[in-house]
Amino acid sequence: MPRKAKELSALEVGRIKRPGLNAVGGVAGLHLQVAPSGGRTWVLRVVVAGKRRDMGLGGFPDVSLAGAREKARAARLQVEQGVDPIEQRREARNVLMATRASAKTFEECVTGLLAAREGEWRNAKHRWQWENTLTTHAGPVMGKLKVADIKLAHVLDVLQPIWSSKTETASRLRGRIEAVLDWATARSYRSGENPARWKGHLDQLLARPSKIARAKHYAALPIDEMPAFLVRLRAAEGTGARALEFSVLTAARSGEVRGALWGEIDLEAAVWTVPAERMKMHREHRVPLSPQAVKLLRALPRAKDQQLVFPAPRGGVLSDMALVAVVRRMGVDAVPHGFRSTFRDWAAERTHFPHELAEMALAHAIDSKTEAAYRRGDMLAKRAAMMGAWATFCATPTPKKSATVMPIGKKVA
């Protein structure tokens, strides 16, 4: 056991200024360490398992002389009992730090998930939709809760108020909450079953969305009104009108058209290749261009170094409202997306083109997983014939009394 130094009083200890270790007595090995900067801390020098160790006991004067001696006696008692007080304290500190690190709130986990999926978002709007629904609906109920404490009751408190009135939003929100909690589990911030899971869990407590959701239909133009509408549309001026006309002829989504680049279009081959990152299904989509669509493109003004096919008047991509405004000015009870529905109705009711061909033209997902697994081509030639027939129909005045099925296109096997 180290030799005991002279036991100093509190007043004497307060006068110590000499840099280095200064024994203060009272407990063997207790020192006041003075740094070159003048800072003073308590240090207990002990021998643990034959090895000398220095153990910090806090700063002076925050820890008084009496307090330092009390801590030193407790540490020496642990050593006598075969316990390494320094190692024990380190382990306790690690446990505390781990506990604090794992005590993440739901809103912190939302931020973590969004960052982890940064490369997956189709666009900034997609990421915003996730963050907005989680913040708006889940945030008030469980945003500040530790993610480890979230239970079924919390999830139901979020979902039940909007499950019937905003079914589509609520269904997506449920999936997003499930994703956040799964992410938290993978990061060891929580454990156990996911209270937001659907199958075998929430499906027993909430009505199936398909049974209560109201179908959302886009206002669409009746088939027989399309030719007259296209005549008026071609007479309208402006980039928005041309973009809408191109959208009609290709049955493409507004976002795909507004973001179209000249580098994606091969006018000689009459093909527009939309890259996967701009497609809803995240797959490259080749669009056959009818002669009317090619003619429209060739007539467009093209400024030097301008890559956008339909640039906004002040530069950049046209807003979605630019196409909506064109329709509104024409006084038509429809929306840009609704012209895809008109095309689909035309293909089903006025032609013999196969169902799957029209679905492929609209870049819809294939419902059958087996069919999707075996299909390799995109039926470009057959779709070119269909889009040509559609463009011809749109340019052909419709009789006042429509006949039965128009003989457009041979039945394709």
Kindly report, residue by residue over 13-49, the tens digit of the pLDDT: 888 888 988 988 888 889 998 988 888 999 988 888 7
C-alpha distances out from residue 106 to 102, 163, 193, Å? 12, 21, 16
Q: How confident is the model at residue 205 (pLDDT cuts 50, 70, 90)?
A: very high
Dihedral Cα 400, 402, 403, 406, nearest 10 deg: 120
- How many structural domains compose the chain? 3
**pLDDT value at residue 4:** 64
Q: Is the pLDDT of residue 143 over 80?
A: yes
Q: Are residues 249 and 382 in the same domain?
A: yes
Distance, CA of 406 to CA of 402 (rounded, Å): 9
Q: Are residues 93 and 128 in the same domain?
A: no
**pLDDT value at residue 376:** 54
Q: What whole-number percentage of the chain has pLDDT above 70?
A: 89
**pLDDT value at residue 373:** 43
| pLDDT tens sequence across 262-297 | 999 999 999 999 998 888 877 899 999 999 999 999
Q: Are residues 242 and 206 in the same domain?
A: no
Buried b (16+ CB within 10 A) or exposed e, 72-111: beebbebbeeeebbbeeeeeeeeeeeeeeeeebbbbbbbe
In which element (H, E) is residue 345 found?
helix 338-350
Please report, for the domain that includes residue 95, its CATH number.
3.30.160.390
**What residues pair up with 61 in beta bridges, in sequence order?**
none
Of the candidate ranges 94-108, 220-234, 345-359, the one whose mean pLDDT is the lowest = 94-108
**Residue 227: HSE in the Cβ half-sphere, 13 Å Cα cutoff:** 14
Q: Indicate the residue among 168, 184, 212 that finishes a domain.
A: 212
pTM passes above 0.75 = no
Write down the residue that tokens 């280095």 correspond to: 20
Q: How confident is the model at residue 340 (pLDDT cuts 50, 70, 90)?
A: very high
Q: Is the pLDDT of residue 235 over 70?
A: yes
Q: Are residues 308 and 248 in the same domain?
A: yes
DSSP string, 346-374: HHHHHB---HHHHHHHTTPPPS-HHHHHH
Domain that holds residue 152: 106-212
Q: Is the pLDDT of residue 97 over 90?
A: no
Q: Is the pLDDT of residue 341 over 80?
A: yes
Neighbouring CB atoms inside 10 A of 123's CB total 12
More confident residue, 72 or 402: 72
Residue 176 lies in a domain: yes
Q: Are residues 171 and 79 in the same domain?
A: no
Residue 159 lies in a domain: yes
In which element (H, E) is residue 47 found?
strand 40-48
Residue 185 lies in a domain: yes
Q: Indicate the residue among 101, 129, 155 that finishes a domain.
A: 101
Sign (positive/negative) of CA torsion 225, 228, 231, 237? negative
Residue 289 lies in a domain: yes
**pLDDT value at residue 281:** 78
Residue 400 lies in a domain: no
Q: Are residues 291 and 371 in the same domain?
A: yes
More confident residue, 369 or 158: 158
What does pLDDT average to over the chain?
86
Q: Is the pLDDT of residue 152 over 50?
A: yes
**What residues pair up with 33 in beta bridges, in sequence order?**
21, 41
**Residue 126: HSE in the Cβ half-sphere, 13 Å Cα cutoff:** 14
Q: Is the pLDDT of residue 369 over 60?
A: no
Q: Compute the average pLDDT of residues 130-140.
A: 93
Distance, CA of 109 to CA of 184 (rounded, Å): 6
Q: Is the pLDDT of residue 400 over 80?
A: no
**pLDDT value at residue 409:** 45
Q: How confident is the model at residue 121 (pLDDT cuts 50, 70, 90)?
A: confident
Is there a cis peptide before residue 61, judged by omega within 30 degrees of 0?
yes
Sign (positive/negative) of CA torsion 204, 110, 259, 379? negative
| pLDDT tens sequence across 63-84 | 999 998 998 898 888 888 878 7
Q: How confident is the model at residue 402 (pLDDT cuts 50, 70, 90)?
A: very low
Helices (H), ranges, 117-166: 124-133, 139-142, 152-163
Q: What whole-number percentage of the chain has pLDDT above 90?
A: 53
Q: Are residues 35 and 167 in the same domain?
A: no
Residue 383 lies in a domain: yes
Q: Are residues 387 and 260 in the same domain?
A: yes
Please report, for the domain that includes residue 201, its CATH number.
1.10.150.130
Question: Three-state SS across 70-93?
Answer: HHHHHHHHHHHCCCCHHHHHHHHH
Q: Is the pLDDT of residue 2 over 70?
A: no
Q: Are residues 232 and 355 in the same domain?
A: yes
Q: Is the pLDDT of residue 102 over 70?
A: no
Among residues 150, 127, 149, the alpha carbon closest in space to that of 138 is found at 150
Residue 2 lies in a domain: no
Residue 218 lies in a domain: no
Q: Are residues 355 and 288 in the same domain?
A: yes
**pLDDT value at residue 51:** 82
**pLDDT value at residue 413:** 32
